[in-house]
Structure 1
Amino acid sequence: MASETPSSGTWFGSAEKVGRLRGRIFKWTCLGATVLTLALMLVFLLYVANDAFRPFSADPGWLATMGLTVVVPIALLAGYYYRRDRSAGQVAYTALGLPVLVALASGGLWLLFRHIVSPREWFVLVVSIVVAGGLVVGHSRVRHDAVTERLVVTVLVPLLVVVGIPTVLPGLGQFLYLLPVLPNALFSLILGFVLPVAAIVGWRVRAVRDADRDGAIAAGITVAGGLAGLGLGPLVGIHPTSWFVFAAPIVGALVVYVEHVVRNDKGLSGLAFPVVVVAGVFAGLAVTQLLGFAGPDAWLNMDFLTSAHDTDPSEAGIYPTLVGSVLILLVIVLSAFPVGIGAAIYLEEYATSQGRFGTVMELIQVNIANLAGVPSIVYGVLGLAIFINLIGMGRGTAVVAGFTVGLLILPIVIISTQEAIRAVPDSHRQASYAMGATKWQTVRNVVLPESLAGIFTGTILALGRAIGETAPLLMIGIPATVRIAPDSFLSRTGAMPRQIFSWSTQITTEFRYGVLAAGVVTLLVVLLTMNAAAIVLRNRSQQTQ
């Protein structure tokens, strides 16, 4: 027996060493695969960005000046934050990225105000929504015990106030249009956009500070930032209405974030980072203009973003298809996500796998899982058959494209939402029931808040697939080239993936490299903006849990 102990120990020791070696090999293999994937993506992005911006076409003096005024200060500050104050670095990058993200989102609103909804129509819509919300809240306070009645009022009152009953009872908006005096476009945006944004900012600051004075100050700063466009807009060549749409959300977001940083008293020095970046950019542009240094001859510039397609590559732009993609995404968000999230809630919280409907529920679950893997061209055929041939909607419209791509991502939304709901511990539900809460109250107050992070993760995946799909758009008749931006959701429209595909088939080299690269970068910026917004909301929901 004494002779067996060493050999046994040696065997176990050898097995342990082999296990550790295999674990290290697996770890480094995964790390290598990750690094390789990121490196390939970085090379692709740098290749496309080089074709889109052509930085080396600029004068060496321009590159040196911008490097000294922008790149060097950014590198020095980033190194300082990395070595001395990590929390300030996080604040710095958030403070710089937040206004950029809000500005890009405001650009979508600006497109809506320019092509779809006039400022007066927006003002009337906001007034109708505020009145309907006030009636619902007032009824809930008076009749807070009548659950069924509150549900009916919550559904019917907004419909009656905002829409009305066709040919019988007009909505509130139609009555407002009968008034002898309505605000002009400028004041309609002030009353219907700037003031509501300021009210939301003030309400948020008041809630976290528990002080009416702080909320009023935050709202006042937001209003001042928006109204500054009346004086500063003409000086810098920006129309006041455009200033309102961009400035009010940006100032409001910065006010909320700066208040958050000051309240936590952590990483305050990071707030200097965006100031240094903006000052460096303006200083660099001023010096290069003074010295006469020419900047890069980029394909992706304001002319490209504000122009339509042209047979001349130097005159070609993406603006009409950019507007069309924004409209399509709005239809997807408003149609697919409510339906998908609602279906997931029913399947997880209300449907039962027992009894007579158990087989039906299992069949539905299997079909949803299978639909997530169906090729996108099949959904294009489905959209063509249902929305165009059966219902009779127009070919190539934003609403048909949105519904078709919405069907494509619907299984992804349902599955990801189901997984997020399943991740909520069942003990939380039982605790809610023990407190006397109903099924709906438990779902609304416990399940949904705790599963929001997973739901937002699903939206990131779904939107990422939706914006880049081209095959369904080909099937439903989205044109390859449009020269006029759509003016409604029922207008014939283009889409960025379809336009980029069309540019890739051009014989001219400038189209297949320069213009194509500019379109790809624009599409990626829109995609990353939506993903960043979803990530911010997801992280926010995780922090509040």
Structure 2
Amino acid sequence: MSMDTNTDTDVDSGYADGFGHVSRTVGTIFRYVLLAATLFGLVVLTILLIYVLNDAIQPTTADSGWLLTFFVTFVLPTIIVGSYLYWRNVDAFKFGATVVGLFVVALMFASGFAMIFIDIVPPLMWFAYSIAIAVPTALVIGIERFDRRVPFLTRLGMTAGLFYFSLFGLPGPVGSELGISQVIPSIATFVQEFPLVFTDWLMITLTLGLAVAVIVERYAVQIGEERTKLVAGGLALGAVIVAAFIGPQIGIDPLPATVLASVAVVPIGAYVVGSAITRPQDRIGLLLTAVIFGGVLLGAFVVEFAGFAGPQSWVDWQFLTSPHSGTAEDAGLYQAIGGSILLMVTVVVLSFPLGVGAAIYLEEYAPDNRFTRIIDVNISNLAGVPSVVYGLLGLGIFVTYLGQPPGTVLIGGATLSLLILPIIIISAREAIRSVPNEMRQASYGMGATRGQTVRNVVLPRAFPGILTGTILALGRAIGETAPLIMIGAPNVVFSLPTELSSKVSAMPLQVYAWASYFASEPFYQKAVPAGVVVLVVVLLAMNSIAILLRNRYQREN
């Protein structure tokens, strides 16, 4: 009895085998020290961003009437309605705020798409290659549905042959290397040379708009509206067509209006309608959305009518659509924005299939032996290598060894792909590893092969995590400067690249050039802060998409 009492006393006093003396006071102090360090970092970062934002936006230069107008029409109503919703229904508040954020972010990316179709990729070329990809895809799907007993190698060879003929014709690049002239043109070439040419906006509607309409139709099925799926798809396609006629009435050409509707307006509208149907208790959150957008529009109308002058911001339409200039007042970021977009497209095409494929092999197929463990360690180490090392690697492999011209879109995208490839592999492996093993065993129990299990069970459940990791990796790549400097990318370009072999610059490289080669007080106070704000906004937009995907994935689980 005495021994039991002593044991209880030891435990109550905070002693445990293997841990020594356990003190709640020390744990509490440690927790608050971590909290203080986190708050200190956030405060310092916020002060720095406010300082840069003040130099770029200059809100104090606006008329007092302008500030008062937007405070009354936008700030005050948003605070009142937001506080009410947050107090009564937090989910409704989050829904309304999410709609606003999604629309703003989608509008940003839609503007990037519009830039591509206006100045980089001709709509006719986009239309031709879209058809050249759609035709063999439809044939492969049709063959698969007609006879599922076709052997895998036969399907693979048939798919490769169809895509090769559709994109390159016969004999194509292989024949040109052998000195054989072209006999049959590719479908892409045939479409581009066909005498009947649609208008630019109509070609975008028949490709991008139609794809969005199909996505909206499938979304209607997912939310339980099987009967109205055709209506939803038709309304989505009709909205894209109507945008081509409404756009010119508000100062937007039909082509960018069609792109904006396809990428931003229609998808966000479908999300709002679908969420309102499936979450009726959160519909009141749209009141916050209406107050924010309505307040901005009302404030803009009032200040325009009253003649109040706004802030003398350096982040304006002229800055976003102008090329580089030797004077800070006329300097713009347009070519750098276009270069960043092309680099990110190249990075996605090169790194996403390779990274996800490597992750699938290492998690689902590779044996657990010394060789794979060495690969695991090396991938983890490569994820922490400084970016300048990858710049040297790209210079050595692509420029020096392979003899490619430096500073092009292809070389820049390949170098940045090497940079983020370990990150994509690690994040994709974690997403695949998070799929419960019981789901794999259930699939095997139903008679599925390993390939079918990976394709139909593992990847659909792991895809949100894979996509989240990829977006975060792209966020790192878009802000890198050292790799681009090492491969010889020009600091300043005066025209957008139109092909993979064109010279390219990027937003961080342009800001670096303003802060170094054009170092002067006007550039430090005007162009550099404005460029930093644009770059930070793009990074936050990409990270916000990753956060939304992660939260939705966790909520579904």
Tell me the C-alpha RMSD between the 2 structures: 2.2
Which amino acid in structure 2 is aligned with residue 418 of structure 1?
Answer: R
C-alpha contact 1:452 1:541 (8 A) present in aligned 2? no
Q: 1:530 aligns with which of 536, 542, 557?
A: 542
Q: State which drifts further: 184-193 or 344-353.
A: 184-193
Q: Does structure 1 residue 242 correspond to structure 2 residue 256?
A: yes
State the match for 1:131 in structure 2.
135
Q: State which drifts further: 399-408 or 440-449.
A: 440-449
Using the TM superposition, give the Cα deviation of residue 200 of structure 1 relative to its aligned residue in structure 2, in angstroms: 2.3
Percent identity reads 41
Q: State which drifts further: 262-271 or 60-69.
A: 262-271
Q: Does structure 1 residue 21 correspond to structure 2 residue 25?
A: yes
Q: 2:523 aligns with which of 490, 495, 511?
A: 511
Evaluate the alpha carbon distance shift between residue 206 and residue 455 of structure 1 in structure 2; reply closer, same or farther with a 3 A threshold: closer
Q: 2 CA distance for matches of 1:169 and 1:350?
A: 41
Q: 1:124-153 deviations in whole A, cap 9, x for unaligned?
A: 222222222211111011111224133433
C-alpha contact 1:105 1:529 (8 A) present in aligned 2? no
State the match for 2:333 in structure 1.
318
Which amino acid in structure 2 is aligned with residue 67 of structure 1?
Answer: F
Q: Does structure 1 residue 164 correspond to structure 2 residue 169?
A: yes
Q: 1:330 aligns with which of 314, 324, 345?
A: 345
Q: Does structure 1 residue 228 correspond to structure 2 residue 239?
A: no
Q: State which drifts further: 224-233 or 113-122.
A: 224-233
Q: 1:292-312 deviations in whole A, cap 9, x for unaligned?
A: 211000011110000111111
Q: Does structure 1 residue 454 correspond to structure 2 residue 487?
A: no
Q: 1:42-84 deviations in whole A, cap 9, x for unaligned?
A: 2222122111111111111111111111101110111011101
Q: 1:399-424 deviations in whole A, cap 9, x for unaligned?
A: 11110011011111112222222233
Using the TM superposition, give the Cα deviation of residue 523 of structure 1 relative to its aligned residue in structure 2, in angstroms: 0.9
Using the TM superposition, give the Cα deviation of residue 332 of structure 1 relative to its aligned residue in structure 2, in angstroms: 0.7
State the match for 1:498 in structure 2.
509
C-alpha contact 1:469 1:497 (8 A) present in aligned 2? yes
Trace 1:158-197 onto structure 2 (pairs within 5 A): 158-165=163-170, 166=172, 167-197=182-212
Which amino acid in structure 1 is aligned with residue 101 of structure 2?
Answer: G
Q: 2 CA distance for matches of 1:216 and 1:46?
A: 48
Residue 267 of structure 2 aligns to a residue whose secondary structure is helix
Q: Does structure 1 residue 274 correspond to structure 2 residue 267?
A: no
Q: State which drifts further: 386-395 or 295-304.
A: 386-395
Residue 14 of structure 2 aligns to a residue whose secondary structure is helix
Q: 1:46 aligns with which of 50, 53, 63?
A: 50
Evaluate the alpha carbon distance shift between residue 206 and residue 416 of structure 1 in structure 2; reply closer, same or farther with a 3 A threshold: closer
Evaluate the alpha carbon distance shift between residue 410 and residue 312 of structure 1 in structure 2; reply closer, same or farther with a 3 A threshold: same
Q: Does structure 1 residue 383 correspond to structure 2 residue 382?
A: no
C-alpha contact 1:222 1:255 (8 A) present in aligned 2? no
State the match for 1:100 in structure 2.
104
Q: 1:430-482 deviations in whole A, cap 9, x for unaligned?
A: 22211111111111122222322432342243122211111111111111122
Structure 2 segments unaligned to the other structure (5+ residues): 16-20, 173-181
C-alpha contact 1:453 1:542 (8 A) present in aligned 2? no
State the match for 1:109 in structure 2.
113
Using the TM superposition, give the Cα deviation of residue 31 of structure 1 relative to its aligned residue in structure 2, in angstroms: 2.2
Q: State which drifts further: 9-18 or 500-509.
A: 9-18
C-alpha contact 1:320 1:482 (8 A) present in aligned 2? yes
State the match for 1:340 in structure 2.
355
State the match for 2:179 in structure 1.
none
Using the TM superposition, give the Cα deviation of residue 493 of structure 1 relative to its aligned residue in structure 2, in angstroms: 1.2
Q: Does structure 1 residue 396 correspond to structure 2 residue 395?
A: no
C-alpha contact 1:205 1:218 (8 A) present in aligned 2? yes
Residue 170 of structure 1 aligns to a residue whose secondary structure is coil
Q: State which drifts further: 305-314 or 440-449.
A: 440-449
Which amino acid in structure 2 is aligned with residue 516 of structure 1?
Answer: V
Q: 2:216 aligns with which of 178, 183, 201?
A: 201
Q: State which drifts further: 290-299 or 38-47.
A: 38-47
C-alpha contact 2:125 2:192 (8 A) present in aligned 1? no
State the match for 1:422 in structure 2.
433
Evaluate the alpha carbon distance shift between residue 230 and residue 325 of structure 1 in structure 2; reply closer, same or farther with a 3 A threshold: closer
Evaluate the alpha carbon distance shift between residue 234 and residue 454 of structure 1 in structure 2; reply closer, same or farther with a 3 A threshold: closer
State the match for 2:123 in structure 1.
119
C-alpha contact 1:99 1:253 (8 A) present in aligned 2? no
Q: 2 CA distance for matches of 1:141 and 1:215?
A: 23
Q: 2 CA distance for matches of 1:6 and 1:443?
A: 57
Using the TM superposition, give the Cα deviation of residue 389 of structure 1 relative to its aligned residue in structure 2, in angstroms: 1.9
Structure 1 segments unaligned to the other structure (5+ residues): none
C-alpha contact 2:201 2:244 (8 A) present in aligned 1? no
Using the TM superposition, give the Cα deviation of residue 242 of structure 1 relative to its aligned residue in structure 2, in angstroms: 0.9
Evaluate the alpha carbon distance shift between residue 132 and residue 540 of structure 1 in structure 2; reply closer, same or farther with a 3 A threshold: farther
Q: TM-score, normalised by structure 2?
A: 0.91
Which amino acid in structure 2 is aligned with residue 497 of structure 1?
Answer: P
Which amino acid in structure 1 is aligned with residue 199 of structure 2?
Answer: N
Evaluate the alpha carbon distance shift between residue 101 and residue 492 of structure 1 in structure 2; reply closer, same or farther with a 3 A threshold: same
